[in-house]
A and B are shown apart, each in its own frame.
Chain A
């Protein structure tokens, strides 16, 4: 089941379908209710190209009527969804309740995307990239910049130039090639965004607006002053840019504040200091990081796109792992839950708190540690060891235009709860998580004994439970 959004009515619609079909699945495609005709035309062309009707069916309509019943149907093997975070959560729940245990969900959702500009950045370049990132497509891209942080010493010059550069934007019909900012998708969106800007205006927080045409679902592009990302109530899916300043020495705190919001789609950074780029790239938790350029317009094959946390499940669209995610995994085995002591929630929490994710993730000898601890094991554990040893997490350089560098890096997901249910399976799960750099909490009968060799071999981070 492929559910695509209206803001990329052709690209995302086609991308989802193509990946699912390439992996051999039959597809039910539900385009956004605002843009069914582009989808219909695309499907018409796919049919002309020879795609059998039995492989792809178009089911236009709204979410409650079409999406709801279908995502709750036990015959659905997986859902590929791009849209809002709350809807993704509803689909997740529906799949868990109705579909098989191996049903997949690939969700690509919203974000509160930030950009940091320090005082070494070239103002002209930063302003150009801010304009593109915030206002192109009227801000109706999930990657669009919402929260700009500018170093206080650079604020005045940057905001003055931004003000003047906004005045040079053309707002109008996208048919015209000189249009920079188009209308938003419909009257509902127009009302929501306009109300938001009006409320901010009332509060005296709007630094800049542009006059918009009166006829049509236009909203006025706006710059809103805030204290930081913590002041953003929600994602505003339109041409609204929030601005805050920071002190040079507080740059890490800004990154932490961005991380604290739990989203993680795109992030932009303008600086000439290479060390700073490296530090921030390591500290920030977002899917797509753009340095010294705009933060929209990811290119398939060069910049695989997708976020983490509340912004999506991965794998990244247009990346090397995307199509394989649409394949069926090994047959699900049923295991009866073994008898054991009940684990109190409190001890689970204290085990979680005791984890040291950062140090474990930084270790280069993870596979050696696991091998040493678990040598002589057989069955699922041995298989997990072999798979872990084969896992390649080295950053890849992807092809792209000359004069830029596109790197795809993999990071551990973070703490993993391994529930078995049998001890061997729980240990095998732990091996895979630990091998990828995630610390684990292991819950299974006999786990206390089982983790001892792991700890002795140096994997100090895993928590355990009896």
Chain B
């Protein structure tokens, strides 16, 4: 029986993190801007340097297949959405009949011909061509010269279509996934490692639903660490590392199950951390949904307290800049590193679960969103967090994961001359050109976050990446769009945010309480898995723990009832509720 009582020992830092959970967006951003030490002139130079990167990316390098794909399809076309749905589902469907139905469903109605030959990448064109061919085959009313072609493919039959589409999906998968196994991934990593890049490997997969799943993921991580250990270079910063999702290690990685998590998940994580420490490679805990943040800190602190890790600098944590708790989170991590006398790695990301966070908050009717409502606000937060991390390099090795030219320029400007005291990170298959240029020009280090696993497990990862980078406003989209000037692509987010005035919180995103506005207020909800939200409620409930409720009709015998009569727990059971009538 787990009771969630307010954690009496919660440190001051934790209290500050919790206080920011539902803090007003404008207030949080106001405080964040204050932290950025770049002068007016410095900011101008950063924007110029960013624009310069953009111009060079366009001139010197061709975009990767992935970038070209996102630029061509993105999420604003029905083809892009259809393709994403197909990629998500196709490879897991076992029966031919349903595969055919799925292909019909996603490809038939789309205007693939409109995309033909538009992309500068021949690979994108090739898969467009394949998709269009199959689309034409499936189309019942085709016109013009495709008729002969269609007849040909139709004669070859549906198995050919299935194979063609399956192949296109695998081509797509290969752009995201470095290898199907860790060995294959490490082999494929060699080429860029020779150019001075390092890697952090991620094992593809969903959050564990069962303990069997969790054990399987645990073994996969252990095996991967063993393999990576063979390439350790004696220094965590120059060695490949591993990124671990805690939700893969336990089916109930939730705050409500905190006791179980500490008893079952923690030992599994500890085992992996010790293995990584022994091999002297980086071990990074990926950030997930915001309502896992508080619980993840409990695990992080318990792992950092492990004496056997002394002298190892490879423990890593992720901070999501879109979270309103990012700044106190960084302060807490630094304080923990001080307390346990460690050097740690902190990866700063913008955050990939934005849609989920917005939806969940609205669904629950909580007070506000735990994340910022505009991309420009997150960009400002990223700069402020970068500044905070750079100011704490005595304990923290910052890792800046971004594909945005302005953000890269800002980090380079804020970091100063010590290029070994931090690194950049990019995703496998993305930001290749930009990071090549930054690395060559500024002598910085760059690590590649590379997912490893079966193509059928690509889903969650793929969808997150597309949501993150597929929007028209995303940097990845803009950098290949020649119609937007480099200086526009690399505009200063601080100025952009400050221009918003009262509209710092996007009016397009309805606050959870305003979901039914103007008709009525939404009913107020609480997040049972978010201590900042639920603890005050549980605390208020506590005083009724021993209350016996009674009611009586005039002249009747009072009936009485406890919180849960069905439990009949000895000593807690009084009388069945039946008001005297």
A333 contacts B by Cβ under 8 Å: no
Smallest distance from the beta carbon of B419 to chain A beta carbons, Å?
Answer: 41
User: Which of B92, B97, B363, B515 is in CB contact (< 8 Å) with A122?
Assistant: B92
With A36-B577, A401-B359 in contact, is A153–B88 under 8 Å at CB? no
Q: A119-B95, A174-B564, A399-B516 are in contact. List 11 more A-B contacts (CB 8 A).
A: A65-B581, A119-B92, A122-B459, A123-B92, A165-B210, A178-B256, A178-B257, A183-B567, A248-B95, A399-B515, A400-B515
CA distance A170 to B260 in the complex (A): 11
Closest 3 CB pairs of A and B: A164-B210, A183-B566, A40-B551
User: Which of A60, A168, A183, A401 is in CB contact (< 8 Å) with B362?
Assistant: A401
Q: Are A272 and B516 in contact (CB-based, < 8 A)?
A: no
Smallest distance from the beta carbon of B581 to chain A beta carbons, Å?
Answer: 5
Smallest distance from the beta carbon of B523 to chain A beta carbons, Å?
Answer: 8
User: Which of A167, A177, A400 is in CB contact (< 8 Å) with B534?
Assistant: A177
The segment from A46-54, A273-281, A346-354 found at the interface with B is A273-281
Q: Are B92 and A37 in contact (CB-based, < 8 A)?
A: no
Q: Are A404 and B359 in contact (CB-based, < 8 A)?
A: yes
Most B C-beta atoms less than 10 A away, residue of A59, A185, A216: A216
User: Which of B1, B98, B257, B519 is in CB contact (< 8 Å) with A120?
Assistant: B98
Q: Are B256 and A168 in contact (CB-based, < 8 A)?
A: no
Smallest distance from the beta carbon of A190 to chain B beta carbons, Å?
Answer: 8
The segment from B99-107, B282-290, B439-447 found at the interface with A is B99-107
A422 contacts B by Cβ under 8 Å: no
B48 contacts A by Cβ under 8 Å: no
Q: Are A176 and B2 in contact (CB-based, < 8 A)?
A: yes
Contact with A along B355-373 (1 / 0, CB 8 A): 1001100110000000000
Which residues from chain A contact B538 at a C-beta distance below 8 Å?
177
Q: Are A273 and B105 in contact (CB-based, < 8 A)?
A: yes
Closest chain A residue to B257 by CB distance? A178
Q: Are A275 and B581 in contact (CB-based, < 8 A)?
A: no
B15 contacts A by Cβ under 8 Å: no
Q: Are A403 and B209 in contact (CB-based, < 8 A)?
A: no
Interface residues of B (CB under 8 A from A): 1-4, 85, 88-89, 92-95, 97-98, 101-102, 104-105, 206-207, 209-213, 251-252, 256-257, 259-260, 355, 358-359, 362-363, 459, 509-510, 515-516, 519-520, 523, 528, 534, 538, 545, 549-551, 553, 559-561, 563-570, 576-579, 581
Contact with B along A326-364 (1 / 0, CB 8 A): 000000000000000000000000000000000000000
Closest chain A residue to B552 by CB distance? A40
Which residues from chain A contact B2 at a C-beta distance below 8 Å?
176-178
Q: Are B210 and A120 in contact (CB-based, < 8 A)?
A: no
Smallest distance from the beta carbon of B353 to chain A beta carbons, Å?
Answer: 12
Closest chain B residue to A164 by CB distance? B210
Which residues from chain B contact A33 at a C-beta distance below 8 Å?
578
Which residues from chain B contact A163 at a C-beta distance below 8 Å?
210
CA distance A77 to B553 in the complex (A): 25
Q: Are A36 and B579 in contact (CB-based, < 8 A)?
A: yes
Which residues from chain A contact B569 at a C-beta distance below 8 Å?
173, 215-216
Q: Are B568 and A178 in contact (CB-based, < 8 A)?
A: no
Q: Are B581 and A403 in contact (CB-based, < 8 A)?
A: no
Q: Are B206 and A164 in contact (CB-based, < 8 A)?
A: no
Q: Are A128 and B209 in contact (CB-based, < 8 A)?
A: yes
8 sample A-B contacts, Cβ–Cβ < 8 Å, listed by A number: A37-B577, A40-B551, A120-B92, A120-B102, A184-B566, A215-B568, A400-B362, A401-B515
With A41-B551, A403-B355 in contact, is A275–B105 under 8 Å at CB? yes
Smallest distance from the beta carbon of A54 to chain B beta carbons, Å?
Answer: 16
With A170-B257, A275-B101, A276-B101 in contact, is A34–B577 under 8 Å at CB? yes
Q: Are A66 and B93 in contact (CB-based, < 8 A)?
A: no
CA distance A66 to B3 in the complex (A): 40
With A161-B210, A164-B210, A176-B2 in contact, is A118–B363 under 8 Å at CB? no
Which residues from chain B contact A154 at a C-beta distance below 8 Å?
94
User: Which of A37, A174, A403 is in CB contact (< 8 Å) with B359?
Assistant: A403
With A164-B210, A168-B211 in contact, is A177–B566 under 8 Å at CB? no
Q: Are B209 and A185 in contact (CB-based, < 8 A)?
A: no
Which residues from chain A contact B92 at a C-beta distance below 8 Å?
119-120, 122-123
Q: Are B568 and A120 in contact (CB-based, < 8 A)?
A: no
Q: How many inter-chain contacts with C-beta < 8 Å in the A-B complex? A: 171
User: Which of A37, A165, A403, A404 is in CB contact (< 8 Å) with B579?
Assistant: A37
Most A C-beta atoms less than 10 A away, residue of B259, B520, B553, B577: B577
Number of interface residues of A (CB under 8 A): 62
Q: Are B567 and A168 in contact (CB-based, < 8 A)?
A: no
CA distance A185 to B567 in the complex (A): 9
Smallest distance from the beta carbon of B573 to chain A beta carbons, Å?
Answer: 9
User: Which of A61, A65, A272, A302 is in CB contact (< 8 Å) with B88?
Assistant: A272
CA distance A163 to B3 in the complex (A): 27
Q: Are A119 and B98 in contact (CB-based, < 8 A)?
A: yes
Q: Are A216 and B251 in contact (CB-based, < 8 A)?
A: no
Smallest distance from the beta carbon of A275 to chain B beta carbons, Å?
Answer: 5
Which residues from chain B contact A185 at a C-beta distance below 8 Å?
566
CA distance A248 to B570 in the complex (A): 52
Smallest distance from the beta carbon of A271 to chain B beta carbons, Å?
Answer: 9
Contact with B along A167-209 (1 / 0, CB 8 A): 1101011111110001111100000000000000000000000
Which residues from chain B contact A136 at a C-beta distance below 8 Å?
none
Smallest distance from the beta carbon of B452 to chain A beta carbons, Å?
Answer: 19
A127 contacts B by Cβ under 8 Å: yes
Q: Are A216 and B567 in contact (CB-based, < 8 A)?
A: yes
Smallest distance from the beta carbon of B395 to chain A beta carbons, Å?
Answer: 35
Closest chain A residue to B528 by CB distance? A177
Which residues from chain A contact B257 at a C-beta distance below 8 Å?
170, 178
Which residues from chain B contact A182 at a C-beta distance below 8 Å?
564, 566
Q: Are A402 and B98 in contact (CB-based, < 8 A)?
A: no
User: Which of A66, A172, A274, A302 is in CB contact (< 8 Å) with B105?
Assistant: A274
A151 contacts B by Cβ under 8 Å: yes
Which residues from chain B contact A124 at a C-beta distance below 8 Å?
206-207, 209
CA distance A317 to B560 in the complex (A): 31
CA distance A66 to B559 in the complex (A): 17
Q: Are B564 and A273 in contact (CB-based, < 8 A)?
A: no
CA distance A83 to B291 in the complex (A): 37
Closest chain B residue to A185 by CB distance? B566
A259 contacts B by Cβ under 8 Å: no
User: Which of A119, A174, A275, A301 is in CB contact (< 8 Å) with B516?
Assistant: A301
A249 contacts B by Cβ under 8 Å: yes
Closest chain A residue to B515 by CB distance? A399
Q: Are B579 and A164 in contact (CB-based, < 8 A)?
A: no
CA distance A128 to B207 in the complex (A): 11
Closest chain B residue to A59 by CB distance? B581
CA distance A163 to B92 in the complex (A): 20
With A168-B211, A183-B564 in contact, is A273–B101 under 8 Å at CB? yes
| CB within 8 Å of B: which A232-249 residues | 248-249
Which residues from chain B contact A153 at a C-beta distance below 8 Å?
94-95, 98
A72 contacts B by Cβ under 8 Å: no
